[in-house]
Amino acid sequence: MALPDAQVGRTRCAFWVLEVLLFFLLCLSSGLCNARVRGVGRSRQHANRREHRGAEERWFTQRLDHFNGADGRIWKQRYFVNAQFYRSGGPVFLMVGGEGPANPAWMQQGTWLEYARKLGALCFLLEHRFYGQSRPTEDLSTANLRYLSSRQALADLAHFRSVTAAEQGLSDSKWVAFGGSYPGSLAAWFRLKYPHLVHASVATSAPVYATVNFPEYLEVVRRSLAAENPECPLLVKQASDTLYQRLKDPKLYDNITADFSLCAKLHIQTEMDVAYFLETLAGNFMDVVQYNEDNREFEGVVGTNITIKVLCGVMADTSLGDPYNRYAAVARLMLKTFSQKCLDVNYTTYMMEMTNTSWSSPASGGGRQWVYQTCTEFGFYQSTDSPNQPFSGFPLQYYLKQCADIYDPSLNESTLAQAVLQTNEYYGGYDIRTTRIVFPNGSIDPWHALGITQDISNNLPAVFIKGTAHCANMYPARDQDPLQLILARDHVFLLLQNWLRE
């Protein structure tokens, strides 16, 4: 992710629960950075291997439940291989898949492949269970989703590493895990929990601290907007507050429908309808801040010219009318950018999609799965429960009710608080104690608030990159990259060089 409420799933890469259409276009297209996650005996591979943009697709046999020896069920997990740079005796790089389909574009471009070229590494990308084509169960029922967790995903990584190393003569090679956003957390936790299997990890934009309520996300959004123009978050707040008030008057619904190019006439029945509408519009700003100026052209993602500067420019344009009208202009701009005819803010439709348990449902691309993980492990709810952020109307209770409505009434604030506590107890939260993990984070990225931004020790360094957004150091280098980003990539490479000598 991104982490987040989603029509088809998101994490704010992870995280990664927010309006999901943009999440898929901007984050889940990678399946790696994001924030928004992902048997028995020896691996077996399909004979019908396929080529994806030059990356070789293969399949690996995994256990459904790594923690129940009496359960012998198995399934096929998708992975990709790039041996282009491998030199005998070189390291093995393992890219961790995230809360969406694994994108083989990462097997052809990205900073990690530049490291692989210099170090002679063999590269694997393992898709996360329950995402993409890695489907362990016949459907996405709540009963089946109990096999979806970060712990099961780490066990998948461990089994993949062990069997692949044994079969391909790589047991003496040094393995390095890479990941961005939620997969960045997995990369760090893989080193933490299986230190005998992975030599080092690069945990980019990794929210390692779980929390039920995450209003700090929107506080970083405010600061990032203000860094572009101090008036920008004030104008956004004025517009959001105005819309919140107008939603209380049904006589204004026709105007609101036209202003925001809604797909159907606005119909408000409950506070959930209001919250869903307001969160969807806030998502325009949240997504752009999180992915500001990312290099996503290699993933085929359109609309990458929409940046914080562009949005704040619209909000400052007095020719468009008052702040409310400028806010509506932003929504229309985003629709045009992503070739959408209208904006669907029907909460009932969203619930119908999210409760559909079929693999062919709109939410099966990651939304139903990721929100389940937020409801049972992480929280990460980017609520408006802070006075120091510019949006209105989607408090923590809005997200918690979705957990109960989509999956099980027993998923409430108390059970989630216990689950989050267990997550932090198991992984350590900010207090990770191991060696050879580097934590790159961008100052603009709201997820850095849950990440490691200061060195824990000499062997657990942080790389805090001023002026960059989510997972910026993972993307291919460009001529316009700021010096801070260039130096960060170089610093990570020097760390890897040193660690691989140990």
Mean pLDDT of the chain: 88
- State pLDDT tens for residues 20-69: 333 333 333 334 444 322 122 222 222 233 444 457 899 999 999 999 99
- State pLDDT tens for residues 58-88: 999 999 999 999 999 999 999 999 999 999 9
- As a whole number of angstroms, the distance between CA 205 and CA 217 comes to 13
- State pLDDT tens for residues 386-406: 999 999 999 999 999 999 999
Tell whether the model's pLDDT for residue 413 goes beyond 60: yes
Amino acid at 340: Q
The pLDDT, as a whole number, for residue 337 is 87
- Name the packing angle between helices 323-337 and 308-315 (round to 10°): 140
Tell whether the model's pLDDT for residue 329 goes beyond 60: yes
| Pair 62, 156: CB distance under 8 Å | yes
- State pLDDT tens for residues 176-214: 999 999 999 999 999 999 999 999 999 999 999 999 999
The pLDDT, as a whole number, for residue 14 is 34
Catalytic residue among 66, 128, 159, 470: 470
Please name the residues in contact with 166: beta carbons below 8 A apart, sequence gap of 6 or more. none
For the chain, what percent of residues have pLDDT higher than 90?
Answer: 83
Tell whether the model's pLDDT for residue 369 goes beyond 50: yes
Q: Which residue has the higher pLDDT, 452 or 19?
A: 452
Q: What is the pTM of this model?
A: 0.90
The pLDDT, as a whole number, for residue 7 is 29
The pLDDT, as a whole number, for residue 304 is 56
The pLDDT, as a whole number, for residue 308 is 94
| Token code pair at residue 143 | 């009963």
Catalytic residue among 156, 259, 294, 445: 445
Tell whether the model's pLDDT for residue 366 goes beyond 60: yes
The pLDDT, as a whole number, for residue 305 is 77
DSSP state of 202: E
The pLDDT, as a whole number, for residue 466 is 95
Tell whether the model's pLDDT for residue 298 goes beyond 80: no
The pLDDT, as a whole number, for residue 294 is 64
Per the annotation, the verdict on 181 as an active-site residue is: yes
Instruction: For each of the domains in the chain, give its residue range(s) and CATH number, in order of start.
Output: 1-502 (3.40.50.1820)
Helix (H) or strand (E) run with residue 278 in it: helix 271-290
The pLDDT, as a whole number, for residue 226 is 97
- State pLDDT tens for residues 256-270: 999 999 999 999 999
The pLDDT, as a whole number, for residue 297 is 55
- State pLDDT tens for residues 278-289: 999 999 999 899
- State pLDDT tens for residues 231-264: 999 999 999 999 999 999 999 999 999 999 999 9
Judged by DSSP in three states, 339 sits in: coil
Catalytic residue among 181, 205, 240, 361: 181
The pLDDT, as a whole number, for residue 49 is 37
The pLDDT, as a whole number, for residue 56 is 85
| Token code pair at residue 220 | 């970083």
**DSSP string spanning 56-75?**
EEEEEEEES-TT-TT---EE
Tell whether the model's pLDDT for residue 4 goes beyond 70: no
